[in-house]
């Protein structure tokens, strides 16, 4: 037992001496490693790895020498900074422990004369990561309440969308805060629904225009101007069975001045149509139109609207009562319209009235003056239109109107006065003008026009009116139009003509600046009481090239085939146009 105790005492004494010696040997301070290397990293030191691109290069370049000198790779290769731990409540301030450790190491290195500098560097390095080593995962620190980040936003990666430049507003919000294109007319008496019996629709639909006009600001008004000039060839200038062709230079200027007020509105328009024919000056056009529109906003739910226009033009050779021989008479039309609009939540009621005075100039046929006084008449209209809004994209409405047509003298053809009275009943739906798919109006109804003279029959029939635009895609738009009206005539035995027209047109943008179109149309006329019918088929195509926001080049072609039950009245026409449209 005594020998065993001596052996145990010697072993314990030796261990105590070794432990005291190790405690007294000065050691270098090392920073705390939060994520120590895995077991695979222990063992004898490995040979420093060279950069893979230079595995066996015996003569390194100057850049490689600097890399070895500053420790980027080679024996003195620097290691990435260790991942910092997420600070917790009560922890020391970030960097405090590291600063103290670095300070202690500097003091010991100074005491040793700098001999431990290389060893200290080696001890603070981490081993190069190897395949199979665990990957440290540290969640990013959540932002603290009350701390404002003033740093610049990170630039987007190339090829990815910069979300800071994306407009995330809805299409309705964008339209509410961005000016509408110049073609949008907020002053239409019918809120984009004008009674098609007496005037054409001004509906714009979807305009495939890469440069919507923005106008010129003049005080509190905006001015929009355009001038269109083209060379026109017409193979049958007189719309006659015996075709005669002619070429003409056409110029069509137009201007629109509209207010930019928060309440009320005022607008002026002017346009002209001038042509200069080569062979037949009698077909020259000298037409112009001036208009004034106004709106007075009594409240946000009540307003009054007014419209006045004066127009002078020459009668078309294809008009109902036009003649192929002689000169074309001048037509002067004066229009006055007024409307009262009242909104009751989703219900809007409109009361409107109109007066239209139409007069015709004299014809000159073979040197003989022919009067057209029997064609002059004045039209009066009264109407009411209730409309219910289900959404900004869908409305239902009805329209009830009454009219009186007064003539001053009886017709020369049969000695009968053409004065009459009539009524129109319509019901339809409207899709508004904000949808990105379907816009416009369509209605179905019944109309009747009763001549005051019992010798003339009543004109009545179904009424179909439409002005629809369907945006099939952002590049393709399909337009459908339809109108039904009771037109005037002095044909013997007939008190009026039931005229129906239908049109279908497709527009497609082949590129942003090239827009093509193709369309077909059909018209039918029924001379009630005279057993005369007329049909007209048209087909056309065209292309527009938007050079810039100021100029548009265009070309058009149209074929017309007109058939009539009257003898020697059918004809065909080929028409070609090419020109430029300047605008601002």
In whole angstroms, what is the distance from residue 295 CA to residue 445 CA? 29
Average pLDDT over residues 249-261: 94
Residue 229 in this model has a pLDDT that exceeds 90: yes
Residue 211 in this model has a pLDDT that exceeds 80: yes
Residue 138 in this model has a pLDDT that exceeds 60: no
- State the pLDDT confidence band at 42, using cuts at 50, 70 and 90: very low
Please choose, from the candidates 577, 487, 499, the residue with its C-alpha nearest in 3D space to the C-alpha of residue 541.
Answer: 577
Token pair belonging to 504: 């279908």
Average pLDDT over residues 537-551: 95
pLDDT in tens, 329-360: 999 999 999 999 999 999 999 999 999 999 99
Using a cut of 0.75, tell me whether the model's pTM lies above it.
no
- State the pLDDT confidence band at 425, using cuts at 50, 70 and 90: very high
Percent above pLDDT 70 for the chain: 65
pLDDT at 63: 58
pLDDT at 31: 43
In whole angstroms, what is the distance from residue 269 CA to residue 294 CA? 12
> Hey, what domains does the chain have and what are their CATH numbers?
48-53+63-80+102-123 (no CATH), 173-583 (2.40.160)
Residue 182 in this model has a pLDDT that exceeds 90: no
- Angle, nearest 10°, between helix axes 96-111 and 117-124? 150
Average pLDDT over residues 191-208: 46
- State the pLDDT confidence band at 207, using cuts at 50, 70 and 90: confident
The whole-chain average pLDDT of the chain stands at 78
Average pLDDT over residues 67-80: 51
pLDDT in tens, 347-396: 999 999 999 999 999 988 888 888 999 999 999 999 999 999 999 999 99
Taken in order 170, 173, 179, 181, the sign of the CA dihedral is positive
Taken in order 528, 561, 200, 385, the sign of the CA dihedral is positive
Q: How far is CA 211 from CA 125, 181, 246, 260, 549, in A?
A: 64, 9, 34, 21, 5
pLDDT at 278: 96
Phi-psi region of 53 (alpha: psi -120 to 50; beta: other; left: phi over 0): alpha
Dihedrals phi, psi of 52, to nearest 5 degrees: -55, -30
Taken in order 95, 98, 102, 103, the sign of the CA dihedral is positive
């Amino acid at each position: 037992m005594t020998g065993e105790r001596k052996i145990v005492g010697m072993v314990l004494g030796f261990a105590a001496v070794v432990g005291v010696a190790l405690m007294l040997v000065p050691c270098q301070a090392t920073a705390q490693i939060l994520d120590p290397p895995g077991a695979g990293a222990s063992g004898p030191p490995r040979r420093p790895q060279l950069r893979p691109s230079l595995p066996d290069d015996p003569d390194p370049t100057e850049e490689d020498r600097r890399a070895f000198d500053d420790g980027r790779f080679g024996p003195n290769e620097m290691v990435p900074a260790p991942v910092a731990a997420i600070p917790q409540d009560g922890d020391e301030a970030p960097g405090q422990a590291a600063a103290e450790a670095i300070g202690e190491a500097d003091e010991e290195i100074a005491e040793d004369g700098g001999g431990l500098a290389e060893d200290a560097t080696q001890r603070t390095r981490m081993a190069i990561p190897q395949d199979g080593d665990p990957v440290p995962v540290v969640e990013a620190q959540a932002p603290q309440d009350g701390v404002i980040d003033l740093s610049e936003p990170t630039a987007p990666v190339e090829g990815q969308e910069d979300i800071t430049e994306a407009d995330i507003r809805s299409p309705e919000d964008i339209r509410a805060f961005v000016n509408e294109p110049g073609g949008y007319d907020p002053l239409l008496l019918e809120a984009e629904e004008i009674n098609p019996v007496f005037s054409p629709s001004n509906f714009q639909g979807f305009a495939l225009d890469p440069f919507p006009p923005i106008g010129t600001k003049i005080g509190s008004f905006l001015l929009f101007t355009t001038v269109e000039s083209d060379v026109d060839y017409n193979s049958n200038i007189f719309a006659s069975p015996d075709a005669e062709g002619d070429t003409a230079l056409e110029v069509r200027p137009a201007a629109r001045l509209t207010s930019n007020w928060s309440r009320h509105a005022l607008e002026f328009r002017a346009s002209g149509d001038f042509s200069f024919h080569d062979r037949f000056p009698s077909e020259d056009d000298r037409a112009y139109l001036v208009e004034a529109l106004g709106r007075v906003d009594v409240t946000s739910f009540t307003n009054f609207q007014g419209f006045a226009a004066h127009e002078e033009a020459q009668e078309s050779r294809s008009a109902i009562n036009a003649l192929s021989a002689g000169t074309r008479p001048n037509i002067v039309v004066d229009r006055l319209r007024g409307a009262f609009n009242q909104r009751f939540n989703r219900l809007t009621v409109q009361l409107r009235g109109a007066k239209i005075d139409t007069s015709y100039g004299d014809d000159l046929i073979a040197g003989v003056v022919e009067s057209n006084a029997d064609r002059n008449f004045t039209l009066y209209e009264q109407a009411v239109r209730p409309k219910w809004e289900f959404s900004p994209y869908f409305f239902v409405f009805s329209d009830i109107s009454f009219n009186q047509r007064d003539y001053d003298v009886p017709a020369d053809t049969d000695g009968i006065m053409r004065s009459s009275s009539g009524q129109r009943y319509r019901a339809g739906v409207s899709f508004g003008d904000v949808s990105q798919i379907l816009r416009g109006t369509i209605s179905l109804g019944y109309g009747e026009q009763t001549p005051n003279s019992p010798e003339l029959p009543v004109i009545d029939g179904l009424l179909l009116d439409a002005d629809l635009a369907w945006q099939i895609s952002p590049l393709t738009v399909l337009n459908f139009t339809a109108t039904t009206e009771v037109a005037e005539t002095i044909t013997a035995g007939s008190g009026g003509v039931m005229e129906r027209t239908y049109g279908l047109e497709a527009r497609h943008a082949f590129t942003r600046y090239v827009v093509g179109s193709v369309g077909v149309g059909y018209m039918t006329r029924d001379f009630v009481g005279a057993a005369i019918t007329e049909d007209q088929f048209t087909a056309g195509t065209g292309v527009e090239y938007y050079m810039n926001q100021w100029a548009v080049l265009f070309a058009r072609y149209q074929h017309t085939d007109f058939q009539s039950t009257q003898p020697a009245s059918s004809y065909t026409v080929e028409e070609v146009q090419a020109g430029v449209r300047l605008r601002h």
